[in-house]
């Protein structure tokens, strides 16, 4: 599947490169772009056809064929020389001599140069060095199934309870929910199948030990208000079971149900309509008017984050087909709503100078509501080398790219000018991560302003203990020679970033 997707995008990119190259060369001719696009399109089609066929046969297009700069350059040049030779031979056979050689050869040469530049960038990013081995890429279902926490062990389903659930949902989902919930411990149980908050409001407040909703979270229009109302209807440690079609499972469903290739044409429009328009303040009302706000795509991180914001603690997750079932327990009153939950710039609470929290500005690289489940992700997967959370499913694909080129850090320049941070210093930490540190270091590091460039990128520690030793070493040196220490750590960090190509995750 991944190889087919890669080949499709490679073919599309090659076709666009040829179009751009042809239009560029035609625009340089005195007769102008309009004339040459009308008279030279047959030779362009011949060149494009041979170009793509030879590229596939010669391995220029295909995952795993291009593994380094040498193989990239060799396959691009040989494929393109063969392509232009075959195209010239075809034109000779049909005695087509009226076409401009400058346009035809210029198109091939321009396209070759563009492919080499883009290919070099692709290989550079693929070969970019990281400060720790990358964790194996698991699918969403594999991630959920890989967790073996005590509270996530299945229980023996109750036959009568399963039969009750079957009246409102599929067998697969009924069995999954029944294996998550110990119904014998439930003194008062309510099973509903609703996307209307009114049906939850009609239940007595604080009277239920467990509420199960068989409707997906995607179908609930005012989801935050709905979850808050469920919280009010549960007793002090009541349970809430819900389900969601996650963003990843939605993609799988759409790609499986549509003919190959069609999904990749529909995906950009689907992304714009269902993920971009609902997030922008200017277009949100328009989106709500036409769609009613129903069935928005929800990532696993957003679904779990919304539950945690509403005062729930995630206890268990289990897939039933392409639907994720979630068991949560009430732990507190709902937290305040984040009215800018979808904004591109986010303000994250960080521990600052003298232990005072401040808002660190960053470009959003995680799914909305991800900030509410940091402790849950840590509980599931712990830390990887480098001190970051392992298997952090909260990060978007775009976010991973932004982190590798430091784009997500740029908004923190505002914190620098506000006097909340300095150029080189210890990393600003969230409350959860801060509490993982030793008591002595916690007390010490709040005596200094956090920095835009932490000592991590100079020392490249591999785990939390090494990170703490690196910070202690930096603070000891800074106490003796502040300016000299910051200059040394700055240039050492820049050397690792630019020459060793150390990247963030």
pLDDT tens-place string over residues 110-153: 888 888 888 777 776 665 544 444 445 778 888 888 876 766 77
Contacts of 487 (CB under 8 A, 6+ apart): none
pLDDT at site 268: 81
| pTM score, whole prediction | 0.70
The stretch 145-173 carries a mean pLDDT of 83
Contacts of 80 (CB under 8 A, 6+ apart): 51, 108, 111, 112, 115
pLDDT at site 270: 80
Residue 233 binned pLDDT confidence (cut-offs 50, 70, 90): very high
| Residue extents of the structural domains in the chain | 2-126, 143-246+298-330, 345-498
Per-residue pLDDT tens for 441-479? 999 999 999 999 999 989 888 889 999 999 999 999 999
Please give the residue that has the higher pLDDT: either 17 or 154: 17
Question: Helix, strand or coil for residue 174?
Answer: helix
The stretch 323-347 carries a mean pLDDT of 84
Q: How far apart are CA 293 and CA 299, in angstroms?
A: 16
Residue 425 phi/psi, 5° resolution?
180, 180
Average pLDDT, the chain: 83
* Spatial CA neighbour of 424 closest among 464, 446, 468, 457: 457
The stretch 374-397 carries a mean pLDDT of 84
Task: Write down the H helix ranges in 313-412.
Answer: 374-381, 397-404
Q: How far apart are CA 205 and CA 70, in angstroms?
A: 69
Please give the residue that has the higher pLDDT: either 243 or 57: 243
Q: What percent of the chain has pLDDT over 70?
A: 85
Cα–Cα distances (Å) from 70 to 51, 122, 369, in that order, read 20, 13, 44
Please give the residue that has the higher pLDDT: either 295 or 456: 456
Please give the residue that has the higher pLDDT: either 280 or 209: 209
pLDDT at site 74: 77
Q: Which of 152-166, 232-246, 332-346 has the highest mean pLDDT?
A: 232-246
Q: How far apart are CA 206 and CA 407, in angstroms?
A: 46
The stretch 9-32 carries a mean pLDDT of 79
User: Which residue in this structure is represented by tokens 């007793």?
Assistant: 235
Q: How far apart are CA 468 and CA 429, in angstroms?
A: 12
Return the HEC string of 288-320.
Answer: HHHHCCCCCCECHHHHHHHHHHCCEEEEEEEEE
Instruction: Tell which CATH classification among 3.40.120.10, 3.40.50.880, 3.40.50.150, 3.40.50.720 matches the domain 143-246+298-330.
Output: 3.40.50.150
310 near 230, Cβ under 8 Å? yes
Break the chain down into helix, strand, coil percent, rounded to 5: 55, 15, 30
The stretch 268-287 carries a mean pLDDT of 77
pLDDT at site 64: 55
469 near 461, Cβ under 8 Å? yes
Query: Encoding tokens for residue 231?
Result: 């919280």
Q: How far apart are CA 250 and CA 300, in angstroms?
A: 11
Contacts of 252 (CB under 8 A, 6+ apart): 322
* Spatial CA neighbour of 43 closest among 111, 94, 115, 82: 94
The stretch 27-47 carries a mean pLDDT of 72
């Amino acid at each position: 599947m991944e190889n087919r997707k890669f080949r499709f995008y490679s073919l599309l990119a090659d076709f666009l490169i040829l179009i751009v190259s042809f239009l560029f060369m035609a625009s340089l001719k005195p007769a102008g772009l309009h004339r040459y696009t009308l008279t030279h399109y047959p030779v362009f089609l011949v060149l494009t056809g041979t170009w793509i066929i030879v590229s596939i046969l010669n391995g220029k297009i295909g995952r795993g064929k291009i593994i380094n700069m040498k193989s990239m350059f060799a396959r691009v040049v040989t494929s393109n020389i063969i392509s232009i030779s075959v195209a010239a031979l075809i034109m000779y056979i049909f005695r087509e001599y009226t076409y401009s050689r400058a346009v035809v050869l210029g198109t091939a040469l321009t396209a070759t140069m563009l492919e080499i530049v883009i290919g070099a960038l692709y290989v550079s990013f693929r070969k970019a060095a990281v400060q720790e081995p990358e964790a194996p890429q698991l699918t969403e279902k594999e991630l959920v199934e890989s967790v073996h926490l005590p509270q996530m062990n299945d229980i023996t389903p109750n036959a009568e309870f399963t039969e009750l659930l079957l009246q409102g949902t599929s067998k697969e989902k009924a069995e999954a929910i029944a294996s998550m919930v110990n119904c014998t411990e439930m003194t008062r149980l309510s099973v509903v199948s609703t996307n209307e908050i009114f049906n939850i409001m009609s239940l007595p407040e604080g009277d239920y030990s467990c509420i199960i909703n068989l409707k997906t979270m995607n179908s609930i229009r005012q989801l935050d208000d709905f979850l808050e109302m469920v919280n009010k209807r549960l007793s002090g440690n009541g349970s809430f079971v819900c389900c969601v079609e996650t963003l990843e499972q939605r993609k799988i469903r759409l790609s499986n149900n549509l003919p190959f290739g069609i999904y990749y044409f529909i995906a950009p429009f689907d992304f714009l309509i269902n993920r971009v328009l609902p997030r922008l303040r200017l277009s949100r009302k328009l989106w709500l008017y036409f769609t009613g706000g129903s069935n928005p795509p929800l990532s696993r991180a957003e679904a779990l984050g919304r539950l945690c914001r509403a005062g729930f603690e995630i206890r268990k997750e289990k897939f039933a087909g392409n639907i994720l079932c979630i068991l949560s327990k009430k732990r507190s009153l709902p937290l305040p709503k984040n009215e800018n939950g979808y904004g591109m710039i986010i303000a994250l609470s960080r521990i600052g100078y003298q232990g005072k929290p401040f808002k660190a500005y960053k470009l959003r690289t995680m799914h909305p509501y991800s900030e509410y489940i940091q402790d849950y992700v840590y509980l599931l997967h712990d830390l990887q080398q480098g001190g970051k959370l392992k298997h952090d499913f909260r990060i978007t694909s775009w976010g991973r790219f932004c982190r590798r080129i430091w784009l997500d850090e740029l908004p923190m320049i505002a914190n620098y000018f506000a006097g909340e941070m300095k150029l080189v210093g210890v990393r600003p930490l969230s409350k959860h991560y801060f509490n993982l540190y030793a008591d002595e270091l916690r007390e010490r590091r709040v005596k200094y302003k956090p920095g835009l460039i932490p000592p991590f990128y100079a020392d490249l520690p591999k785990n939390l203990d090494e990170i703490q030793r690196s910070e202690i070493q930096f603070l000891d040196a800074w106490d003796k020679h502040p300016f000299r220490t910051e200059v040394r750590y700055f240039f050492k960090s820049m050397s690792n970033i630019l020459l060793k190509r150390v990247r963030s995750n």
